[in-house]
Amino acid sequence: MRKKAGVIFLCAVVLLTALLSGGIPVQAAEFKIDFETHCTALYLENIDTDTVVYQKNQDERRYPASTTKIMTYIIVAEKVADLKNTMVTVKSSIIHMLDGTGSSMAGLKAGEKLSVYQLLNCLMIPSGNDAALVLADYIGDGDINQFVTLMNQKAKALGCTHTHFANPHGLNDPDHYTTVSDMAKITKYAMTLPEFMDISDTATSDVIGEDRYLVTTNSMIDPVRGGDLYYSYAKGIKTGSTGNDSGYCLVSTATHGGYTYLCVAYGAPYEDDKGELYENGAILDSIHLYEWAFDNLSIKTVVDKNDLVKEIKLNFAWNKDTIQLSPASTYSTILPDDIDLASIDRVYYLPESVEAPLKEGDVIGTLLLSYANQPLTTIQLVASESVDRSELLFALHAIRQVVSSQWFIIAVIVVAVLALVYAVILLIYRRKKRTQRPVKKYRKF
C-alpha cells in the first residue's frame, strides 16, 4: 500500500509540473507600469531569462502589417543554404502584382538579378513588399501560396496558437493575423538565424548599388532621421503599418546594463478624424517600456541549489528521522529592484515521508514559486544527502506491518475460531464415546 501511494504521489507531482509549466519552467510575471500606453496590444520580455515582464492583450488577434516579414525572412533563410551566392531574377509579373496597393517598395527592377542576401536587405530595411513577393515566388517555385503554407507550418511548429498568414508582406487580409505573444515567439527564433539581426538593425545600406540606397523605416534605430524617436539602446527589428486597420506596429529589441529585452507593440493610433498622422505610438510605447524595465527591474536569485529549503520525515534510517531537501537548480529571474524576496510565495508539493535508501539528488517533490499571484516557476526538490537503509529497522517494520495487517488479524481470528470449534467437537466426541461404552453382563452360577 505504501509503495502504491508513493507511485500515485509521484504521478501527481509530474502532472502538476506539466500543468504549471507546459513542459518548460514557467517564468512569467506581469509587473505594473507607471505610465499610459498608446498600443492596443503590448508584450515585453527579458530574453536573457525568458521572463515576460509586461503584457497587454497579449492573445488578441491583430493585423501584423509588415512585421509579417520576420516570418518571411525565416522561411527564406531556412530554405536557402547560401544567401550571398544564390541569385534570383526579378519577374515583371511579380512587381506588377502590387500595382495600386500603395505598398512600401524597395525599388526592384524587372529583369535584374539579385542575391537572396540583397533581397533580404530589401525586405527588412525599407520594408519592400516587392522583395517579399520575389522571395516568396522563388522559394515557392512560382507558387506564392506554397510559400505562405510554409509560413503557417512554421508558425505552428514554433508554438503559435493565434496566428495565420495569408501573404508574405503583411497587407491586410481577414485571414492574416497574429498576436504580440505569438510574434515574440517568431522573432526570438528569427534572431537565431544568419544575418537576421545585422540586416534588421541596418539604418542605411548600398547593398544593391551606391545610387540605390536602402533606408530603414524604423526611426528608433536611425540616428540621422529618427529625431526624438531615435533610441540609442535599440537594435532592430521591424516596423509595420497598414493605416488605421493595423495602426502603428513595431518589433524591436534593446540592450542596456547587461540586460536585453524584446518588445512587440501593435495597434497604436495612426491618424485622427481629420487625416492628421499621430506620432508613432508603437515606438513611444517601446521606448517607455524599455526605460521602465532598465530603471526598475533586475535579475535576482530566488532560490539557490545549495539552500536547504525543507525538511521531511525519513523512515528506515539508523539514528536519523528527517532529511533536508534542496532545489535541483538555482533559479534566478527578473524582479522589481525594491522587492523583498520574502514576498515570493512558496507552495511545496511533498509526500508526508520518504524511505531510505536515498541518493543525493533523488527527486522528492516540487516547489511552486509565485509573485503577486502569478506563477514564476516550478522547481524540483531533491535529497541533500545520501542515506543508507537500516535492514534491522526495515525488518522490524515489515514484521509490524504483517502483524498489524487486516488479513493477518483475520487469519488469527479464523485459526482461533477453528481451534475453538475443533476443541468443542473433540469434547463432544469424547463425551459421546463415554456414554456409548458397553455394559458388562455377568453370568449367574
Kindly state the DSSP code that residue 28 receives in the 8-state scheme: B
Residue in the structure block whose three cell numbers are 535541483: 328
Instruction: Give the C-alpha separation, 208 to 78, whole Å.
Output: 22
Question: What is the identity of the amino acid at 29?
Answer: A
Instruction: Give the C-alpha separation, 240 to 276, whole Å.
Output: 18
Instruction: Give the C-alpha separation, 180 to 190, whole Å.
Output: 15
Cis before residue 237, ω within 30 degrees of 0? yes
**Which of 249, 250, 246 lies closest to 262 in space, CA to CA?**
250
- What lies within 8 Å, CB to CB, of 93 at 6+ separation is none
Tell me how crowded residue 159 is: count the other CB atoms within 10 A of its CB: 13
In angstroms, how far apart are the furthest CA atoms of the chain? 163
> Which of the residues 103, 115, 127, 390 is marked catalytic?
127
Residue in the structure block whose three cell numbers are 498608446: 38
Kindly state the DSSP code that residue 351 receives in the 8-state scheme: -
384 carries an active-site annotation: no
> Nearest 10 degrees: CA dihedral of 98, 103, 106, 110?
10
66 carries an active-site annotation: yes
**Which of 305, 319, 397 lies closest to 360 in space, CA to CA?**
305
For 153, half-sphere exposure in the C-beta direction (CA atoms, 13 angstrom radius) is 8
Kindly state the DSSP code that residue 111 receives in the 8-state scheme: T
**Which of 132, 87, 139 lies closest to 113 in space, CA to CA?**
87
> Which of the residues 56, 66, 219, 241 is marked catalytic?
66
**Alpha-carbon separation of residue 130 from 79, 99, 110, 239 (angstroms):** 19, 10, 10, 16
Instruction: Give the C-alpha separation, 101 to 49, whole Å.
Output: 41
238 carries an active-site annotation: no
Tell me how crowded residue 233 is: count the other CB atoms within 10 A of its CB: 18
Residues marked as catalytic: 66, 69, 127
